[in-house]
Amino acid sequence: SILIIDFGSQVTQLIARRVREAGVYSEIVPFQSAEAAFERMRPKGVILSGGPASVLDQSAPLAPMSVFAAGVPVLGICYGEQVMAHQLGGRVEGEHHREFGRAFVEVTRPCALTEGVWEAGSRHQVWMSHGDRVTALPDGFEVVAVSENAPYAMIADEARRFYATQFHMEVVHTPDGAKLLSNFVHKIAGCAGDWTMAHFRTDAIARIRAQVGSGRVICGLSGGVDSSVAAVLIHEAIGDQLTCIFVDHGLMRKGEAKEVVSLFRGHYNIPLVHVDAADTFIDALEGESDPEVKRKTIGRLFIEVFEAEATKLGGADFLAQGTLYPDVIESVSFTGGPSVTIKSHHNVGGLPERMKMKLVEPLRELFKDEVRALGRELGLPDAFVGRHPFPGPGLAIRCPGGVTRDKLKILREADAIYLDEIRKAGLYDAIWQAFSVLLPVQTVGVMGDGRTYEYVLALRAVTSVDGMTADFYHFDMEFLGRAATRIINEVKGVNRVVYDVTSKPPGTIEWE
Ligand code: XMP
């Protein structure tokens, strides 16, 4: 395995992803707990991430010296290079101007990190982002590549197997970065590259069995990918010691609730309690238009309904959750301070504390794309595994204002047509999320010889990497026209369609 010591870079997670894509298990730990993690993991190699600090500061975050003394290969990236140079006896200096963005490096000599990727004498595009730079190398190091602004763009001490770059090899803007990282983990650190989802599945099943023993587990299914993959995996491990509870809040998309039930009961034969709680949720939401109150109401009702069902089942020892790695990585924060709540997200959060159950979280180590790969490995249908993210509060937050059964019906039909058109145009996988929003506004229209006075539907589609930022999707107008015409012709209750061209920030992806 590879240990990644995090110094707070925005892109540290990408290092872990690239290493895992090379078939090697990796973990990210904040620099403060690196020493303990190194002892626990006994990794075959260590990567020092980038970060916003300066090693010239008194309180600069550093790597444990024991990492450099252990005889394992170390790769420093950006701030990681400065840490390495500074701690091993070189010199780092501040610069007047920070260097950001695309740069070109020239390879000056061969080394194991560039073997088979870059030849000596060649020039390559990389992504730079740094303030300080190394100005004198520690003993044993040699320059391997230079750029106009970074005479130590890549350095190496091949005897000790220490390598470092001023540029970020984990980002796609360094086109050969993944190959360089693969060299580090395979050729230099000697990792086998056998960490696949098939492997993970076998290991995870053994771990679940060891943790659960003969205990009973309940799992809250949401219909989403994460909880579904977790449930199928756990069922494979412990069979009918698992019961799934599907709290159907009546706010799913068209046909989705049925699909969940038939997939789990029919295809996998997993014990599933389907609680039809649509009336409870919709009645509570009917007169409420404040987005935060709507979200909180849904969260509270979800817990109440789930708890009541769990009690009917006679309780359980464990609660299963589809928690993913990005939710558990302890991030290094230099900014501190309280952050404002933009939206109170609803999922099964809050349940474990209330119900005093131990947690089974078999996906805690995985990124979203790995969960999808595991889902396919477990035989979940491609269309299911590749579905766009869907928020816990469902269609309620896509119906600004009070939610009614009529509005939900209109929204469901219109959204199904929109998604159908997107699939037909072959655009579904290029889009991070696409959905419709039924506005609480009616406008005048004319259909045939008659006047209409009906709702406005907003279409939304965005591209994104992680949902934190997003760009609106640039459909061609033909497509939008086609989708709008179909929706207005086929869905009673909508006579006008608009397209949302707001990116995030300043907008958010969902409207509420
Ligand atoms: P926003 O609207 O904040 O959404 O830009 C970012 C991503 O999060 C999803 N989302 C949620 N997911 N529970 C969830 O599980 C929620 O309450 C929730 N609210 C928003 C949203 O769909 C997008 O993918």
Query: What pLDDT is stored for residue 350 in this prediction?
Result: 61
The answer, yes or no, to whether residue 336 has pLDDT greater than 50, is no
The answer, yes or no, to whether residue 175 has pLDDT greater than 50, is yes
Summarize the confidence of residues 278-307 as an average pLDDT.
95
From 247, 249, 345, the mutation candidate for ligand 1 (largest count of ligand atoms within 8 A of CB) is: 345
Query: What pLDDT is stored for residue 358 in this prediction?
Result: 92
Catalytic machinery residues: 78, 168, 170
Residues 54-67: tens digit of each pLDDT = 999 999 999 999 99
Residues 470-493: tens digit of each pLDDT = 999 999 999 999 999 999 999 999
Query: What pLDDT is stored for residue 129 in this prediction?
Result: 81
Summarize the confidence of residues 387-410 as an average pLDDT.
96
| pTM (two decimals) | 0.84
Where do we find the tokens 């952050």?
339
Pocket of ligand 1 (CB under 6 A): 343, 345-347, 389, 391-393, 433, 467, 504, 508-510
Neighbouring C-beta atoms of residue 81, cutoff 10 Å: 30
Residues annotated as binding site for ATP?
Answer: 222-228
Q: How many residues does the chain have?
A: 512
Greater model confidence, 150 or 90: 90
Three-class DSSP labels, 133-190: EEEECCCCCEEEEEECCCCCCEEEECCCCEEEECECCCCCCCCCHHHHHHHHHHHHCC
Summarize the confidence of residues 338-346 as an average pLDDT.
67
The 8-class DSSP code of residue 211 comes to: H
Residue boundaries of the structural domains of the chain: 2-188, 212-385, 404-499
Residues annotated as binding site?
Answer: 222-228
Distance 135 CA to ligand 1 centre (A): 45
| ipTM confidence score | 0.99
Distance 299 CA to ligand 1 centre (A): 14
Smallest CA-to-CA distance from 494 within 449, 451, 453, 446 is with 453
Query: What pLDDT is stored for residue 340 in this prediction?
Result: 67
| CA–CA gap between residue 247 and residue 277 (Å, rounded) | 7
Query: What pLDDT is stored for residue 264 in this prediction?
Result: 95
User: Which residues neighbour 51 within 8 Å (Cβ) at sequence distance 6 or greater?
Assistant: 6, 7, 8, 9, 61, 78, 79, 80, 332
Band of pLDDT at residue 337, cut at 50, 70 and 90: very low
Residues 186-209: tens digit of each pLDDT = 999 999 999 999 999 999 999 999
The atom number, within ligand 1, closest to the CA of 345 reads: 17
What rounded mean pLDDT belongs to the chain? 93
Q: Does domain 2-188 have CATH number 3.40.50.1820?
A: no
Span 404-499: which CATH code? Answer: 3.30.300.10
Domain 212-385, architecture per CATH: 3-Layer(aba) Sandwich (3.40)
Q: Report the nearest-CA residue for atom 10 of ligand 1.
A: 391
The answer, yes or no, to whether residue 29 has pLDDT greater than 50, is yes
Q: Report the nearest-CA residue for atom 3 of ligand 1.
A: 508
Smallest CA-to-CA distance from 436 within 386, 496, 369 is with 496
Q: Report the nearest-CA residue for atom 21 of ligand 1.
A: 391
Distance 243 CA to ligand 1 centre (A): 27
Distance 324 CA to ligand 1 centre (A): 15
Residues 405-434: tens digit of each pLDDT = 999 999 999 999 999 999 999 999 999 999
The answer, yes or no, to whether residue 349 has pLDDT greater than 70, is no
Contact (Cβ atoms closer than 8 angstroms) between residue 458 and residue 480: no
| CA–CA gap between residue 214 and residue 67 (Å, rounded) | 41
Residues 99-114: tens digit of each pLDDT = 778 999 999 999 999 9
Tokens representing 331 are 């991030």
Cross-strand partners of 165: 77, 154
H or E stretch covering 294: helix 291-312
The answer, yes or no, to whether residue 165 has pLDDT greater than 50, is yes
Domain 2-188 and domain 212-385, same fold? Reply is yes
Neighbouring C-beta atoms of residue 354, cutoff 10 Å: 10
The atom number, within ligand 1, closest to the CA of 343 reads: 3
The answer, yes or no, to whether residue 497 has pLDDT greater than 90, is yes
Query: What pLDDT is stored for residue 355 in this prediction?
Result: 76
